[in-house]
Amino acid sequence: MLGAAGSTPLQPLTPEFSTRPLLRPSLSGSGNPFSTRMLLPAMSPNVKARSALAAASLLLAGPALAQAPQADAAQPEAAAPAQAQPTITKPPELLQQVEAQYPPEALTQGLTASVRLIITIAEDGTVSDVQPTEAVGNGFDEAAIAAVRQFRFSPAEVDGVSAPVQVEYVYHFTLNAPPPAEGAQAEEQEAPKATLTGQLISRGSRSRVAGATVRCGDDPDAPEALSDADGRFTLQVPPGECAVRVVASGYQLYQTKEQLKPNETTEVNFYLAPSGGALETVVRSERPKKEVVRRTITRQEAQKTPGTFGDPIRVIQALPGVARAPFISGELLVRGSNPGQTATMMDGVRIPILFHLLGGPSVVNAEFIDQLDFYPGGYGSQYGRAVGGIVEVGTRKGAADTLHGSVKIDLMDAGFFLETPITDGISVAAAARRSYIDTLLPAFLPKDEGSTLSVVPRYWDYQLRVDFGAKRGAASEAEAQEQAGGARSSGYVMAFGSDDQLRVVSSGPKVATDIELDTRTTFHRVKGDWTYRKGALTSVFTPYVGLDNSSFDFGAARQDGRQYSVGAREVLGMELSPMLTLRTGLDLVYEYEEYDVEFPAPEDLEYVAFPGAESVGEMLKESISLDAFDGALFLEADVKVGKFTFTPGVRGNLQLVDDTRNLALDPRLWVRYAATERTSLKGSVGLYSQAPETFRFVIEPYGTPDLVYQRAFQTSLGVEHRFTDALDVDLTGFFNRRFKNIVEPGQIIQREGGTFFQERYSNDGIGRAFGVELMVKKNRASAQDKWSGWLSYTLSRALDGRAGPKPARDGGFGGGFLDDQDATFGLSPWDQTHILTLVGNYILGNGWELGGRFRYTTGRPASPLNHTYDVYNSERNGYSPTYGPFFSSRTDGFHQLDVRVEKSWQFQSWTLATYLDVQNIYNASNAEFLTNDYRYRKEYEVPGIPILPVLGVKGSF
Amino acid sequence: MKALLKYGGLLLALGASACIDIDDQPSKVHDFRVLGISTEKPELMAPDCERTPEALEVLTSEVRFRALLVDPAGGGRPIQYTLWACADVEDELCADEANRVKLAEGTTAEGELSLAIRPGAATVGEDIPLLLRVQEADPFKGLGGIRMPLVLHAVAGDEEVYAQKLMVFWCPMVEGMKENVQPVIPGLRVDDAPWTVDALPELRGEGPFVMTADDVAPFEETYVVPGLREESVTLQEAWEIAWYATFGEFSPQVTGGADLGGQKGKHRTEWEPPEDAKEAREVTFWAVVRDGRGGMSWVSRRARWSP
């Protein structure tokens, strides 16, 4: 019983479900906002006090929404490509509310409090966990928790499926003034009124604060107003001084005083300070998983993980299953696969070139991403074209409330991001970036009279997204469909692209070799996304077109390439019953490539090379064109049987390149067993295919027209457990076998006419990898929680090589083995037995944030030198090594600590942040590779990156 | 572009390895080395591609084998050598006893080893011409010429070197083929002054001293070889010169050559004495030229350096 200390009976108020919609429409656009109010008895005959549960706020929010409320962020999992972020399609409704007991001691002392709670609502609507975000003491926490534990909600749905969700709930304990005397109400109605109207704006970001309560004073009976989606409110109160109190979840209590005149309207803007720093991950909900492993990186994590230069792709390297790439390379080496075998896509469209300047920053601007999903293996049937993993970059849609943006400047480049609503239901987001090292470099290049040295690296990239069909105020997908007449369409158009140029000119009397190099690579993609929902049917159609240009001028050699591509993906989902969901679709790509090349006849391709000084071949001129089609039809179903979910699927692949026709069928199966609400066992088995890139099919000997699909068999088994709402653990074992992979070069073949050629590529590549991955992730439980981070550990063994005999000639880079005695299958050069990564981020307060990343990996495999005599080849004027057993030793283990410090200043309308990201802060001398003296007598370690500080500045509004 | 991406990673690794301080540099001759091997003629071209007596006579004719052996710290010690011919170019030691022939052995001193040999006449097993075995072992079956490995095994004290030279046997498989001519450096210059074999120029100070070769372009041959795709391919030599000294270092160590775009390098290099050198001395220099198709020769020069 509430108010045990008082003598007056309790007077519970009926919950007012419609008056305090504190729902953030950014996430689902729906929800059943509610508040409850409860009267308390007078404390004593002298002090007539009342206690009230003044405002209980239910917020539904998605991962890492730092600023703009966004509507209709994604599509249901049932049909959508997996890049969509989770959407709460049906929010929980409070069905049973239990009143809290006012702590007697606090009541006696006349204390009030607001208890902010994180409530975990189980799949069936019961409250499975309640945690205060910050203890307020005096018995308030215990009283609020005890009451909330007895609440009961309607089950929430995430992407159309019942799922556990978390909500933030503020339980207010206040004391009421004595009841008004009889007749006072009539007087009040006749009394003059003052109007306070205005807008609630988030300090530092200018986001509109929706669902906040505005009132004068602490009296729960006083009139109050609720801010709308634009943060606007209007409050009518008696004139005089108003002690304004603004209560909004995720923000500090805002208090000010306004003098209100009778019958006048006072217009104000209140800037609310976000509580707990920039990260506002208040509520998390998990998309239902069918994949055994899907790891999600939020934008915040992508931007703030130390040692990654804020590069989203490089953050993936800190996840389990990914081997450390050398130096600062962003290559993704997933579960024993080789570079190029993991596909990276932006909203379902493959990104043709991942990194600027041959391994520089990735073309994915961190400002534009919403989140990254990483599938190290065992991914769904809608994904293909990879025998390693999949990285899906989900882009960010424009803000629905007002104009926001940011400008970022660092050592390499500067860029901006802008997002704004255009009209009702249409928003736009745009980002662009350009390097300026080409303007800085001349200051550092040596200057020599009579000589010319010019190095001009330059890159830019852009992303643009226009969204339409937002739910426009509808509370849920069902409501939105109802408003739209039974079916609803939404979608967006997105364009992205990048350009890289490198020009190097070196000439002069003192220069040994005059060099003139000019390269440029550009790509553009425009894609649409049309989502149609009607009842249990969801269709997502994603067409796209692309244009790639590449040019290469080096001396007399020249190559101009153009690639036109058009593709489409259709994913159709149908929830036939709660036990059965079907997904099917098509994934088609057509490419037309043409190349104009002019170059001196290269050795080993046009004539048999002689070792040593290469002669200059006669000039050859070719125009080559290729048509290529790669299509897939896929079908999968989720079948729920008790605690089991079975997802059988199949993907049929067809590749046509000129006269070559390849077929591959990839059956797959996933099983998930929900042992408890917090624990799941999961497993997968399946085949995966990756079509060779089109350019590999050009005429012999420059290509190999009869290549077939690269294949992989992937299987995994794991368990995941959620210890608390903020602490997840995932342990997964895997075994992968790759076969028919492309290696270079192939065998030397004699034609019928007696001439020879060496196959440029062959499908002889094979590989095998097995291991165990552990991921322990600590999220921030609330805005007040200061810690977040993860521990990632992989124990694995990766083997690689070729199935056929060693080619008679290596024929250049790649596919080479050390000598004739070597087996053609052995340890992968990327094998790392232990891969440990620790990432932590701590909010120090006052705008300071500190992050760290520590990595340890086993050293790279190496073949020991076994020198007893020199072996000299006088034709090529070089020596040959004598090695011990192939990859029988390793370099020393790699260890490195990276630290990032950020300080932000929050001004009224914008935020300024500066950061220092220091790689290898204790300057560890790690061996990336081994090299040797020219006679192969002694080994030397090639050191990795030394201590490397990078300073950056970012302003956002 | 894909290739460029791949090479970009390699360049990064090479760039990093360039940061490593490796004491032993190829241009600094301080112990027993073989700096070059040549045969005169550099290749034997039969008058036709049939097994005619005329063709066999040319292919089995005598050639002069020369090896430049340097041993600056050896004090004139004896160098034991054995010269083998074998079948497989991948057999850099001529270790396959069934397919090798000993052409010569003996003891010599540092300097130029000169031997008269008839590798084309060598036979293995039951009188099988080694040339046939070479052709069999060649994955291109002699389309690039029959390249017989000659391996010189030289031992000086506890230092041991296996040095391979390819003796090329050709026949006119396509129109326009002609026998290779030995490349010869027309002349050297030091700090733009002619540097003759008898001269002993004075080099003072820490340098660098610019050393160049006279223009070799007029001597770089244009030649024709069988093609892998077309019937024949026309090529032009791009000579490389490797520079050596008994004291100090060259940078670059190899000049000339051509890159992927056909851009030829200049034969200009800089020699610097060691930074901590205090005493004047006489320095021996060598320049070894290669034409990229089996032709090779060298010149030696001396200079007096003082701090």
How many Cα atoms within 13 Å fall on the side-chain side of residue A488?
22
Task: State residue A160's pLDDT score.
Answer: 60
Contact B1 A599 (CB under 8 A): no
Q: Is residue A123 part of a domain?
A: yes
Residue A505 predicted with pLDDT over 60: yes
Contact A554 B261 (CB under 8 A): yes
Pick from B252, B259, B294: which is nearest to A875 by CB? B294
Residue A472 predicted with pLDDT over 70: no
Q: Which helix (H) or strand (E) holds B159?
A: strand B159-170
Residue A495 tokens read as 């364009």
Residues 6+ apart with CB under 8 A from B85: B94, B100, B101, B103, B117, B119, B122, B130, B148, B149, B150, B151, B167
Predicted confidence band of residue A14 (pLDDT cuts 50, 70, 90): very low
Predicted confidence band of residue A183 (pLDDT cuts 50, 70, 90): low
Residue B9 predicted with pLDDT over 80: no
Contact A871 B162 (CB under 8 A): yes
Selection from A190, A472, A407, A484 nearest residue A957 by Cα: A407
Contact B290 A875 (CB under 8 A): yes
Could you give the CA distance from residue A592 to residue A546 in angstroms, rounded to a whole number? 10
Contact B24 A618 (CB under 8 A): no
Say if residues A382 and A327 touch (Cβ distance below 8 Å): no
Give the DSSP letter of residue A301: H
Contact B236 A615 (CB under 8 A): yes
Selection from A94, A95, A76, A96 nearest residue A86 by Cα: A76
Percent of chain A with pLDDT over 90: 46
Say if residues A930 and A908 touch (Cβ distance below 8 Å): no
Say if residues A537 and A574 touch (Cβ distance below 8 Å): yes
Predicted confidence band of residue A289 (pLDDT cuts 50, 70, 90): low
Selection from A358, A506, A483, A509 nearest residue A424 by Cα: A483
Using DSSP's 3-state secondary structure scheme, residue A143 falls into: helix
Residues 6+ apart with CB under 8 A from A254: A244, A245, A246, A248, A270, A272, A273
Least confident span in A217-231, A632-646, B24-38? A217-231
Give the DSSP letter of residue A357: T
Average pLDDT of span B294-300 = 97
Could you give the CA distance from residue A384 to residue A633 in angstroms, rounded to a whole number? 10
Q: Is residue A513 part of a domain?
A: yes
Residue A27 predicted with pLDDT over 70: no
Task: Give the distance from residue B49's alpha carbon to the nearest chain A alpha carbon, in angstroms.
Answer: 15
Say if residues A679 and A721 touch (Cβ distance below 8 Å): yes
Pick from B144, B228, B291: which is nearest to A701 by CB? B228
Selection from A896, A787, A851 nearest residue A304 by Cα: A851
Question: Where does a domain end: A272, A305, A337?
Answer: A272
Residue B147 tokens read as 């390249």
Residues 6+ apart with CB under 8 A from A485: none
φ and ψ at residue A64, rounded to 5 degrees: 50, 55
Average pLDDT of span B126-147 = 94
Residues from chain B contacting residue A693 (CB–CB below 8 Å) = 2
pLDDT, greater one: A169 or A71: A169
Task: State residue A118's pLDDT score.
Answer: 76
Q: Is residue A282 part of a domain?
A: no
Q: Is residue A748 part of a domain?
A: yes
Strand partners, A118: A131, A168
Q: What is the per-residue pLDDT across A356-414, written as a single tens digit (0 to 9) for each?
A: 887 788 888 888 888 889 999 999 999 999 999 999 999 888 887 889 999 998 878 89
Could you give the CA distance from residue A757 to residue A739 in angstroms, rounded to a whole number? 24
Top mean-pLDDT range of A346-350, A392-396, B209-213, B275-279: B209-213
Predicted confidence band of residue A55 (pLDDT cuts 50, 70, 90): very low
Percent of chain A that is helix, strand, coil (3-state, to 5): 5, 50, 45
Please count the structural domains in chain A.
2
Amino acid, res. A892: D
Per DSSP bridges, beta strands A537-554 and A515-534 are antiparallel
- Chains A, B: CB contacts within 8 A come to 241
Residues from chain A contacting residue B163 (CB–CB below 8 Å) = 872-874
Contact A618 B234 (CB under 8 A): yes
**CB-CB neighbours of A191 under 10 Å:** 11
Chain A contact probe: residue of B2, B7, B17, B21 with most A CBs at under 10 A: B17
Say if residues A936 and A925 touch (Cβ distance below 8 Å): no
Instruction: Compute, in degrees rounded to 10, the torsion defined by CA atoms B190, B191, B193, B194.
Output: 20
Least confident span in A264-278, A424-438, B93-107, B199-213? A264-278
Q: What is the per-residue pLDDT across A908-934, written as a single tens digit (0 to 9) for each?
A: 889 999 999 999 999 999 998 889 999
Predicted confidence band of residue A264 (pLDDT cuts 50, 70, 90): confident
Could you give the CA distance from residue B155 to residue B83 in angstroms, rounded to a whole number? 12
Task: State residue B15's pLDDT score.
Answer: 54
Supply the mean pLDDT for chain B. Answer: 92
pLDDT, greater one: B145 or B11: B145
Chain A CA closest to residue B212: A512
Chain B contact probe: residue of A353, A459, A511, A513 with most B CBs at under 10 A: A513
Residue A196 tokens read as 């306070």
Supply the CATH number for residue A97's domain. 2.60.40.1120
Residue A513 predicted with pLDDT over 50: yes
φ and ψ at residue A442, rounded to 5 degrees: -55, -30
Residues from chain B contacting residue A556 (CB–CB below 8 Å) = 261-263
Contact A613 B296 (CB under 8 A): no
Q: What is the per-residue pLDDT across A758-817, written as a single tens digit (0 to 9) for each?
A: 999 999 999 999 999 999 999 887 777 889 999 999 999 999 999 888 888 764 333 444
Quote the strand ranges of A578-618, DSSP E: 580-600, 616-617
Q: Is residue A730 part of a domain?
A: yes
Residues from chain B contacting residue A509 (CB–CB below 8 Å) = 268
Residues from chain A contacting residue B144 (CB–CB below 8 Å) = 607-610
Q: What is the per-residue pLDDT across A795-809, written as a single tens digit (0 to 9) for each?
A: 999 999 998 888 887
Task: State residue A116's pLDDT score.
Answer: 74
Supply the mean pLDDT for chain A. Answer: 81
Question: A850-853: long-range contacts (C-beta < 8 A, 24 or more apart)?
Answer: A850/A899, A850/A900, A850/A901, A850/A902, A851/A304, A851/A305, A851/A306, A851/A899, A851/A900, A851/A901, A851/A902, A852/A306, A852/A897, A852/A898, A852/A899, A852/A900, A853/A305, A853/A306, A853/A307, A853/A308, A853/A318, A853/A897, A853/A898
Task: State residue A90's pLDDT score.
Answer: 67
Could you give the CA distance from residue A579 to residue A644 in angstroms, rounded to a whole number? 10
Chain B CA closest to residue A869: B160
Q: Is residue A649 part of a domain?
A: yes
Average pLDDT of span A689-713 = 95
Q: What is the per-residue pLDDT across A75-127, written as a single tens digit (0 to 9) for each?
A: 334 434 433 445 566 667 777 777 788 888 877 777 777 777 777 787 778 88
Q: CA quadruple A149, A155, A157, A162: dihedral positive or negative?
A: positive
Query: What is the length of chain B?
Result: 307
Structural domains of chain B in order of their starting residue, each with its CATH number: 25-173 (2.60.40.3880), 174-307 (2.60.40.10)
Residues from chain A contacting residue B238 (CB–CB below 8 Å) = 613-616
Would you list the DSSP string of A78-127?
Answer: TTS-TTSPP-EEE---EEE--PPPPPHHHHHHT--EEEEEEEEEPTTSBE
Q: What is the value of pTM for the model shown?
A: 0.81
Domain that holds residue A226: 11-272
Q: What is the per-residue pLDDT across B69-115, written as a single tens digit (0 to 9) for each?
A: 999 999 999 999 999 999 999 999 999 999 999 999 999 999 999 99
Task: State residue A130's pLDDT score.
Answer: 81
Residues from chain A contacting residue B4 (CB–CB below 8 Å) = 358, 519, 552
Amino acid, res. A717: L
Task: State residue A371's pLDDT score.
Answer: 86
pLDDT, greater one: A825 or A359: A825
Task: State residue A755's pLDDT score.
Answer: 84
Predicted confidence band of residue A206 (pLDDT cuts 50, 70, 90): confident
Say if residues A144 and A96 touch (Cβ distance below 8 Å): no
Contact B2 A329 (CB under 8 A): no
Q: Is residue A286 part of a domain?
A: no
Q: What is the per-residue pLDDT across A650-668, written as a single tens digit (0 to 9) for each?
A: 999 999 998 999 999 999 9
Task: Give the distance from residue A352's alpha carbon to the nearest chain B alpha carbon, in angstroms.
Answer: 11
Per DSSP bridges, beta strands A580-600 and A557-577 are antiparallel
Residue A471 predicted with pLDDT over 60: no
Contact A512 B265 (CB under 8 A): yes
Measured CA angle at A859 (ends A856, A865), to 5 deg:
165
Instruction: Compute, in degrees rounded to 10, the torsion defined by CA atoms A830, A329, A803, A758.
Output: -140
Could you give the CA distance from residue A581 to residue A574 in angstroms, rounded to a whole number? 6
For tokens 């970012």, the residue is A954
Task: State residue A159's pLDDT score.
Answer: 59
Pick from A610, A695, A929: which is nearest to B294 by CB? A610
Task: State residue B7's pLDDT score.
Answer: 42
Q: Is residue A870 part of a domain?
A: yes
Task: State residue A174's pLDDT score.
Answer: 66
Task: State residue B117's pLDDT score.
Answer: 97
Residue A878 predicted with pLDDT over 70: yes
Would you list the DSSP string of A748-801?
Answer: EEE-TTS-EEE-S-EEEEEEEEEEEEEEEEE--SSTT--EEEEEEEEEEEEEEE
Q: What is the per-residue pLDDT across B154-168, written as a single tens digit (0 to 9) for each?
A: 999 999 999 999 999
Give the DSSP letter of residue A806: P
Environment class of residue A204 by beta-carbon count within 10 Å: exposed (0-12), middle (13-18) or buried (19+)?
buried
Task: Give the distance from residue A360's alpha carbon to the nearest chain B alpha carbon, in angstroms.
Answer: 11
Question: Where does a domain end: A272, A293, A316?
Answer: A272
pLDDT, greater one: A94 or B200: B200
Residues from chain B contacting residue A359 (CB–CB below 8 Å) = 8-9, 12
Cα dist. A198→A19, A233, A262 in Å? 18, 6, 17
Say if residues A223 and A193 touch (Cβ distance below 8 Å): no
Question: Where does a domain end: A247, A272, A297?
Answer: A272
Selection from A438, A441, A433, A431 nearest residue A414 by Cα: A433
Residue A292 predicted with pLDDT over 80: no
Task: Give the distance from residue A459's alpha carbon to the nearest chain B alpha carbon, in angstroms.
Answer: 15
Chain A CA closest to residue B17: A942
Average pLDDT of span A825-834 = 93
Say if residues A896 and A872 touch (Cβ distance below 8 Å): no
Chain B CA closest to residue A605: B228
